[in-house]
Structures are given as C-alpha cells and as structure tokens.
Structure 1
Amino acid sequence: MGCVLLQVARPAPAAAHNYLVSSTPSDGAVLDTAPSEVTLEFNGPVGQKFATVVVAGADGTTFQSGAPRVVGGTVTQRLRPIAEAGTYRVAWRVVSSDGHPISGTFEFRLRTGDATAGDGTPSPESATSPSGTVSAPSTAPSGATSARQAAERRSDGAGAGWLLAGGAAVAVLAAGAVVVVRRRSGTRDV
C-alpha cells in the first residue's frame, strides 16, 4: 500500500507544463510610450478558455480592454490608453496544454505619461532588446535563472498539494475497505 501511495503522491514532472518564453513589454522594461497591448509567448499552445491578463497601475486601476486573444502559444491583451508614468504590473493566468492552470506576474515601467497608447517601444536605457521582448535563454551562466525556471517558480504550484491530499484520501479509503472486508469475513466464520 505504501508503494501505491508513493506512486500516486509523487509530483508530476514540471516539464509537462507550458511556460512563458517572452513578453512584450518584457519584465522590467522601461518604456517611453505606453503599450497598446501586452503579448505573452509560451513554449507551446495554451487553452483558449479561461485565459486572463490584468494590467494594473500602482493605484489598482486596470487597463485591459476586452478579453485576451489566444492563438496557439500567443496570448494578446489589448489595453486602454495609459496616461500616467509609473510602474505597471501584469498578472496572467492560462491553462497549460496539459490541462493545468499556470500563472505569473511581471512589471514594466512607463517613464512619461501619454494620453494615447503607443507601440510599447522600450527606451534606450532598457536592458531588453529593441522590440522589448525577452528571448528564451540559450545557455545561462551558473546562478542565473532561465525563463523556464522563473515561470515554474511563479506558476501555480497547488497541484502537488492536491495530489498529496488525493493520495492520502485513497490510502484512507483502501484501509477502510480492508477493515470492512476483514470484519465481514470474520462474521461468516463464526
């Protein structure tokens, strides 16, 4: 019974989950003009249902316009005009191709206010590429965090807890079944 419990309670490999490869704007980007949309690129297709992207300012005001558009592994969220300089947090949640929800957050900073949404081009001081995207890491130096590791760290990790709880429930039910069978067979022999 212990072997069965260990097989059930063993966490599934994280490689099965999709992960965020890049975003526009990228995490930590400093922009001169407000983006008109946020684009998330995943390593594979994600579910079209239940995709959520929220872009919020420091005061809690949100700027998304309509529902996100999902095409394969690309999720695009249109934005209302962002008029004030400041830091904006992007929180996303999608359903991975293996059926598990994954989520994460990142931030970008708008250097100057803009009454109309721009194209999201980062400033020259930004540490990102000119398009504002972060590519998947090739070989990261030791101690550096890859995009996949960061996505797994930020992903919803509740699945392992539910798996352990389910395994414990199965073990309790199995033990109860053994007790019932023994009692019934004991009353027949009398």
Structure 2
Amino acid sequence: MRRLLTVLLLAFVAVGLALPPAQAHNVLIGSDPKDGATLTASPERVTLVFDQAVRQGYAQMGVTGADGSAWADGAAVVAAERVSVKVKPLPAGGAYVVGYRILSSDGHPVTGKITFTLAAGATGQTAQGTQGTQGTQDTGAESAGSDAEAAEAAANGGAGMAVVWIVGALLVLAAGTAVALRRSGPSAAPAPAAQAAEAAEAAEKSQAEETRA
C-alpha cells in the first residue's frame, strides 16, 4: 500500500510540473491619451498599454465620434503589451470613444473602451469622419471576435484533453500497481510459515532423541 501511495504521489507531482501555469486575462493599465482626458490638439495615434503581451492577429480598435462617425485610420498594430491605431485629424469640440477587442495571452478575448474629448479651440479639422467606415470596422470586429472565440475554444479543448489523458494514465498506473502488490503479497507470505514448520520439526526430533536417551 505504501508503494502504491508513493507512486501516486510522484505521479501527481509530475502532472503538476507538466501543466502550464495559469495566466490571468490581460488588463488595460494605461493609454495615450489617458482615459477621460481633454486634449488641445488632435492625436495622431491612440495607444493602449496592457499588463502583459497581446496576441498578434486578433486586435481591433476603433475611434468613434458622438455622431457615430469613424476616425480610425487603418488597422490596429500590436507590439508586445501595446496596441495602437492611427487617427484621422479630428474636428475640435467633440467627445470620442476608443473601443478595443484583443486576445489575451491566456487565449481569452478582452473588450473595453476609453474616452477623450477634443477641446473646442483645439487644433483639428472641420471635415466629417467616414460614415461608411463604421460598418466596415464593426464587421472586422465581429470577424476578429469569432476568430478569438475559436482560438479560445481550441486552447481550452487542448488543455482539457491533456488533463483527460493524464488522469487516465494515473488510473492505469494505480490499477497496475495494485495488481502487482496483490500478486506479490501471497507469494511472500509462505516464507515465515515454512520457517516455523521447520523449527517445529527440529524441536520434535530433538525431543524424541532426549526421550530415547
């Protein structure tokens, strides 16, 4: 039994070492411009900073005005913990929302937003944003969301199968050890009994010789 417990303990320790450490979802820790800031000039780029690296290929960012017009100029760029997007020259005196969707390093999608305001006397332009671009950005975000969810499901499924295989291997190992111990137990038991029988026989012979004498 001690052998069985020792084997199981070592197996569980090995499983713990083999499994990857749990990772938390990415958390937004900063941005440029800062969330809620009032600017005196139109920003050329909006940058988000997270607490850990962001996965490539899934990040989406959009800059939307109060009237729903889109002001992001191109796709989001990922550089380790930073995700950024270029911004078209913004009209002065408006509030803007920066929405984002990324895929965390642990495989889970994270969404959120920040806001900033461009002061009325700020340097900018009076041209309107592209209304049609908003629909394109929404479609891209939905596509990225589907890809992120698929990647998350694949990652979770792979980890789940690994755990199933490991648990199955532990059960087989435990069963084999138990059978081996049961088989070895009875075969080892007769040794003391045989020694006792030999001792009894020797005692009888000795007593018989003493009686004859």
> What is the TM-score with the length of structure 1 in the denominator?
0.52
Aligned mates of 1:17, 1:55 — CA distance in 2: 23
Residue in 2 that maps onto 1:73: 81
Residue in 2 that maps onto 1:34: 42
**Residues 53-100 of structure 1: CA deviation (Å, up to 9, x unaligned):** 111110001111111110101011111111231110111110000010
Structure 1 counterpart of 2:123, one-letter code: D
1:108 aligns with 2:87: no
Using the TM superposition, give the Cα deviation of residue 15 of structure 1 relative to its aligned residue in structure 2, in angstroms: 6.2
Rg larger in 1 or in 2?
2
Residue in 1 that maps onto 2:58: 50
Unaligned runs of 5+ in 2: 1-21, 126-148, 154-213
Alignment of 1:41-190 (within 5 A): 41-112=49-120, 113-115=122-124
Aligned mates of 2:36, 2:82 — CA distance in 1: 20
Aligned mates of 2:47, 2:61 — CA distance in 1: 10
Aligned mates of 2:97, 2:116 — CA distance in 1: 7
Aligned mates of 1:15, 1:31 — CA distance in 2: 36
Q: RCO higher in 1 or 2 (8 Å CA, sep ≥ 6)? A: 1
Q: Is the 8 A contact 2:59 2:103 kept in 1?
A: yes
**Residues 116-155 of structure 1: CA deviation (Å, up to 9, x unaligned):** 6xxxxxxxxxxxxxxxxxxxxxxxxxxxxxxxxxxxxxxx
Using the TM superposition, give the Cα deviation of residue 49 of structure 1 relative to its aligned residue in structure 2, in angstroms: 1.1
Aligned mates of 1:28, 1:15 — CA distance in 2: 29
Residue in 2 that maps onto 1:137: none
Structure 2 counterpart of 1:76, one-letter code: S
Using the TM superposition, give the Cα deviation of residue 114 of structure 1 relative to its aligned residue in structure 2, in angstroms: 2.9
